Structures are given as C-alpha cells and as structure tokens.
Chain A
Amino acid sequence: MTDIKDQFARLLADEPDAPNDLERIVVAGRRARRRRTAALAVAGTAGAAGLTAAVVVPVLASGGGEPSISLGTQPSPTPSTSASAGKCYLISAPPKAAKLTLQRFIRSGKVGEHATINQLRAQKNGRTILEVCAEGASAQQPNDDTSAPPAGPPYHYTEQPDAIASRLAAHLHNRVTHWSLDISYSRPFAQESASLDKGHPTYYDGNVDVHETQGYGDIGVQVMHETTEQVAFTGDCTADENCAETTLADGSVLRTGQVKAGPGDTVVTAEVHRPDGTVVQAQMSNYPFGPEAGTQAHGEQPLSLDQLVSLAEDEHFTF
C-alpha cells in the first residue's frame, strides 16, 4: 500500500527547470497594484463609493436630517501635518456641524478616543477640513525633524490634489492626441496612497489606451517624488538586462528599460529623475490596460522610444 502523498510526489519526477520570469511577475504585479490603488483613490474622491459610504452610513443613520459629511482616506496635501504612523482621515463638513461630525466619527472607533485632530483649512464651499489621525499616531509639527521626508529637498504641494490630477490628465491627453493617436480609454490620474501614513508626498498615476489597426496599446505616466516610497520601475539599472542610464544636460538622470510582461506582452519605460526630486515615469505597452485588457488584442508599441522619453522629460508633469 502506498501513501497518496508519496504517489503525488512521484508524479513530479520529470519536473523541468522553472522559467526565470520574476521580473515579469513583478512588473505585472506593479501594474495590477497601481490599477487597484488608483481605483480606490478615485472611489475615495467621488465620496459616494463603497468604502466611503460604509463609513458615512452609520453616522447618518444615527442622526437623520443632519448635514451630510464626506469621509475619505485621501492623504493630506500638507505632509508636514500627517501622522508618523497609523491611519489619518480627512473629514469635510460645514463649520457648524464639524464638531458633531467629529464626535460621531471618533465614536465610530476608527481612530480611537485619543485621536489627534488638525484643522487644515476651510474649503471654497465653506466646509471645514479636519485631519484626524488614529490613536497612537501623533500629528507632527512642520519644523519637527522627524516629520521631514527622509531624503531630498523640502517638499510642499502648491495645488490641491484634485487640481493636480486634472492638470496631469489634460496634459497627457493633449500630448497623445498631438501624435494623432486614437484614445479608446482614459484612466484618470489619481492621487495614490502608497505613502499615506508616512508623511511623504504621494504620487500620481494615470494612463490612456490607444486603439491601433491591429489592436490596442497603452501609455501611462506616473509622477512621483524621490521622497515617496513608490518603487521606481527601473530599479537598479545595472541589474536589468535591458536598462540604460544617461545623465542629461540639466543633471537629470534618464533610465530606459524594456521588460517582457507576459506572452507577447512588452512594457517599455522611460524614467527621468530630476534634480528637484521629481521622478516622472512614462511607460508604454503593446497591450491595453482598460476595458480591453485580457482580450489579447495586442497592438504595436504606440510610441517610439524618443516620443516616450519626451513624455518623461516633459516639465509639465510635476506637482
């Protein structure tokens, strides 16, 4: 009599060598993760999507007729006041209802009874924005050394996150249509939340799919800052077989690379690290990212490498 596990093991006797495709997996994982986090960020911005609604509903249910509030997990536009650990929330409410709204939010248990509260500013529509950081996460003062980003020059947002996202989306659209490419899908730029709790500036990511004769391709731009924890696509250039690094006249560093992301799938990246700490990553692929994803409707790479590099070097991609 033979144990079934031993018999299973014998089936594996002819195991061939495993493919060396870890880079392919990581690239595909990054793209999937970016798509997921962007969707969450957009949902949070909309204010009516699942996560936000799930927070708001119990509050409203206990106080029918009270002014509506919107809660989200968007990172603070002023990193200097963000928490060093734990999660922070932004609460937008009419000034007269802010105190009551805050009390109800704290009672919800999401941040504990000893939450730290900062009043950020009044919105143009008259609403007050409060930043509430979870219990144990102490909001830090701007000149507190531990609140500073770990590397790079001091960083300050100069626009509202929504305005940055809109500006970046419009500029990518203009650049792509200027090349007479037919945009079939646009994923809006979203303020992504990888660095939500670390007090660092966040990053923005958006992309467009373009319809070509043979199928679809994709062009995406991600704008980051050196102090974000987002991992640069090209990573250690010397370790990537298709990676090249060039120092440009203004001191920026350009990295270009190409990775096979799956059967017939190729992703080409141009990434510029500017002296001011801004990192722009332009990426194109010969397959779609939006609604046509997974249909195997491969096209050609939508841009030449020079065109892709020009996107990464474009000074309008900044925040």
Chain B
Amino acid sequence: MSAADESAFRGFAVTRRPSLRRTAFLLCGDWHQADDLVQTALVKLYVAWPRIHSSEAPDGYAHRTLVRCFLDERRRPWRRESPVEAVDDFGTAVRPTEDLLDLREALAQLPRRQRATLLMRFWLDASVAQTADALGCSEGTVKSQTARAMTTLRALLGDQALVTKE
C-alpha cells in the first residue's frame, strides 16, 4: 500500500473508530469484545483499503464488515463454548418474564442475526436493501427478522417502550 493510502487509512481509522466501536458494543454487549471486533474489522478494511478508498464510501464498507465479523465470530473453533468464570453483559441469565427488562438485556435475548438486523436498520439507518446486502440475505428476510426482533423487544420491554421512526 502506498504511503498516501496508508495515511488516508489512518485518518479514517482515527475519526471513525468511535462510531464503529459503539456499533460493535451494541452488537455484542461487551466493550472488550467490541474492541476486538473493531480491530478485526479495521484489519480487513486495511487489506481492502486501496480498492475501497477509491471506489465507494469506506464508512459503509467498514460497518458492513463489522457486522459480518460479529456474525462470523462464533463460527471460529476456539470461540466455541469455552468455560468462563463470569458471563458477559449480554450473556446474563434471562430474568422472569414478569419483569420488564432494560433494552440491553432484551437485546441479549435476540438471536444474533436479529440483533444485527435491528442495529443495521435502526442504529445505522441502513435501508432494507443495504441491510440485506450486508447480511447476505434477501430483503424479505430482513423485513421478517426486523418484525420478529421488534415483537420480541416489545414483549420484553412493554408495548409502549419502543417506537421506530419508520
């Protein structure tokens, strides 16, 4: 990579890292894991940077990569079911259903793809088509995943707890 490209990458990483990190946290619920996710995504972005930098908006690419890294994370053999002393924030055991859970705990109860879909749509403001492209699924799947996720959240948080601006 040329010095100019690398300088541009560094500039992008410095300025956009906070946004990527917050998205990563919302996906995984743990700041340490979020930092790992961002690091993995930025390394992938570095590899593709000369192409991405000149052909499309790197911010969208970086966020798509981040979401894919999150979805791929548990597929790695060394990530599977290792014993730990304490579960992470999103791993908190399910509370009795009569209690209304806060959003963080409610998000933890969503399947990973539903959580990713929800964040793409309502945190990153991605369109259905953009979300489908990022997650590698059909637009119909995005709509159904979004609906299921919102139904689950409303059941956990109460009907009046959430609205979307759609």
B is a partner of A: yes
Contacts of A29 in B (CB 8 A): 9, 42-43, 45-47, 49
| CA–CA, A230 and B2, complex, Å | 6
Contacts of A25 in B (CB 8 A): 13, 39, 42-43, 46
Is there contact, CB below 8 Å, between A8 and B35?
A: no
Is there contact, CB below 8 Å, between A8 and B123?
A: yes
Closest-CB distance, B2 to chain A (whole angstroms) = 4
Contacts of B14 in A (CB 8 A): 22
Interface centre among B22, B39, B122 (most CB of A within 10 A): B39
Mark interface residues in A1-18 (1 if CB within 8 Å of B CB, else 0): 111110110111001101
Query: Which chain B residue shows the least CB distance to A32?
Result: B47
**Dominant secondary structure of chain B at its interface with chain A:** helix
Contacts of A32 in B (CB 8 A): 43-44, 46-47
Is there contact, CB below 8 Å, between B1 and A7?
A: no
| CA–CA, A2 and B43, complex, Å | 36
| CA–CA, A310 and B166, complex, Å | 64
Contacts of B118 in A (CB 8 A): 4
Q: B63 within 8 Å of A by Cβ? A: no
Q: B156 within 8 Å of A by Cβ? A: no
Q: B164 within 8 Å of A by Cβ? A: yes
Within 8 A of B (CB), among A235-265: 262
Interface centre among B1, B35, B103, B165 (most CB of A within 10 A): B1
| CA–CA, A32 and B17, complex, Å | 20
Mark interface residues in B150-163 (1 if CB within 8 Å of A CB, else 0): 00010000001111
Contacts of A26 in B (CB 8 A): 6, 9-10, 46
Closest-CB distance, B93 to chain A (whole angstroms) = 19
| CA–CA, A184 and B118, complex, Å | 45
| CA–CA, A19 and B13, complex, Å | 12
Q: A316 within 8 Å of B by Cβ? A: no
Q: B25 within 8 Å of A by Cβ? A: yes
Is there contact, CB below 8 Å, between B13 and A15?
A: no
Is there contact, CB below 8 Å, between A4 and B163?
A: yes
Q: B61 within 8 Å of A by Cβ? A: no
Contacts of A230 in B (CB 8 A): 1
Is there contact, CB below 8 Å, between A7 and B103?
A: yes
Is there contact, CB below 8 Å, between B22 and A12?
A: yes
Contacts of B76 in A (CB 8 A): 294
Q: From known contacts A22-B13, A24-B39, A33-B47, infer whether A231 and B6 are also in contact, taking CB-CB under 8 Å.
A: yes
Q: A304 within 8 Å of B by Cβ? A: no
Q: From known contacts A12-B22, A12-B25, infer whether A30 and B103 are also in contact, taking CB-CB under 8 Å.
A: no
Is there contact, CB below 8 Å, between B103 and A3?
A: no
Is there contact, CB below 8 Å, between B162 and A7?
A: yes
Within 8 A of B (CB), among A268-319: 294-296
Query: Which chain B residue shows the least CB distance to A14?
Result: B31
Interface centre among A29, A30, A231 (most CB of B within 10 A): A29
Contacts of B21 in A (CB 8 A): 15, 18
Contacts of B165 in A (CB 8 A): 3, 5
| CA–CA, A22 and B22, complex, Å | 17
Is there contact, CB below 8 Å, between A229 and B2?
A: yes
Closest-CB distance, A9 to chain B (whole angstroms) = 8
Is there contact, CB below 8 Å, between B78 and A4?
A: no
Q: From known contacts A22-B14, A26-B6, infer whether A8 and B26 are also in contact, taking CB-CB under 8 Å.
A: yes
Is there contact, CB below 8 Å, between B163 and A2?
A: yes
Candidates A1, A5, A10, A18; contact of B17 at CB < 8 Å = A18
Q: B3 within 8 Å of A by Cβ? A: yes
Query: Which 6 pairs of residues, A with B, have the shortest CB-CB distance?
Result: A29-B46, A229-B2, A1-B163, A28-B43, A33-B47, A29-B43
